[in-house]
Amino acid sequence: MAGSIGGPPHRNIDRMTSRMASVGMTRVMPIGLALIVVTAGIVWPLRALKPVPNVTEQRGYLLALRDACNAAGDDAAIVVLQGRTGLFAQWAPQTLRGWCDVPVAVMPTALPDRGAALTQLATQWKAAGRTLWVVADEADTIHSVLPTAAAHETPSIINPYFLGRTLVSRPEHYVAEEFSLALAPVPPG
């Protein structure tokens, strides 16, 4: 009689074990797949960084910024001059404002007679008890606007671990990158 409910007892056991195996497989497969994805998510970046383990993009920049802040002083007001690429003027103002704790503005290259505008601005800042400084990525940028300015450059910082740029392959080498800031006080008119 026992076999009449669902067939012979050995077939019931076979069906039960096959169901358990299929249920177990459906539970094991997502876990196994998740482990493979997690492992790949860890191994792939490590493999990509293996040739360049010491990569740093802005090593030493803070030293140059502190030197610039110390040279300008606590009573400074800073105008960042746009250079040839314009990239310096994109990140430098907020960085100088934050680290030097002084007012900072950007002077665009399209402004006519920037030297006269800076002299007038220096006079206004002097009346407010501040000294106006111009900051650029190189002294030539300062001298193009203020030819007689006494430009001072912070010591050059060399980052030997700047990641070499590639377009179609993962980076496998470093390039040395040099960084310094040029700054000069603007004499009032």
pLDDT digits (tens, 9 = 90+) for 48-87: 667 777 777 777 778 888 999 999 999 999 999 987 777 7
pLDDT at 8: 64
Instruction: Examine the pLDDT at 23 and tell me if it is beyond 60.
Output: no
Of 59, 115, 69, 71, the closest CA to residue 92 belongs to: 69
Is the pLDDT confidence value at 169 over 70? Answer: yes
Look at 8-17, 22-31, 42-51, 114-123 and tell me which has the smallest mean pLDDT: 8-17
Q: How far is the C-alpha of 27 from the C-alpha of 32, rounded, in Å?
A: 9
Q: Looking at residue 176, what is its pLDDT?
A: 83
For residue 13, is pLDDT > 90?
no
CA distance 114 to 133: 14
* pLDDT on residue 27: 66
Give the pLDDT mean for 117-141. Answer: 95
Question: What is the C-alpha to C-alpha distance for residues 141 and 82, in angstroms, rounded to an integer?
Answer: 8
Closest CA to 102 of 71, 148, 58: 71
pLDDT of residue 10: 60
pLDDT in tens, 84-121: 777 788 888 999 999 999 999 999 888 889 999 999 99
* pLDDT of 3 higher than 50: no
CA terminus-to-terminus distance, the chain: 114
Q: Taking the domains of the chain in order of start, what are their residue ranges?
A: 2-49, 61-185
Residues 6+ apart with CB under 8 A from 29: none
Contacts with 12 (C-beta within 8 Å, 6 or more apart), sequence order: 6
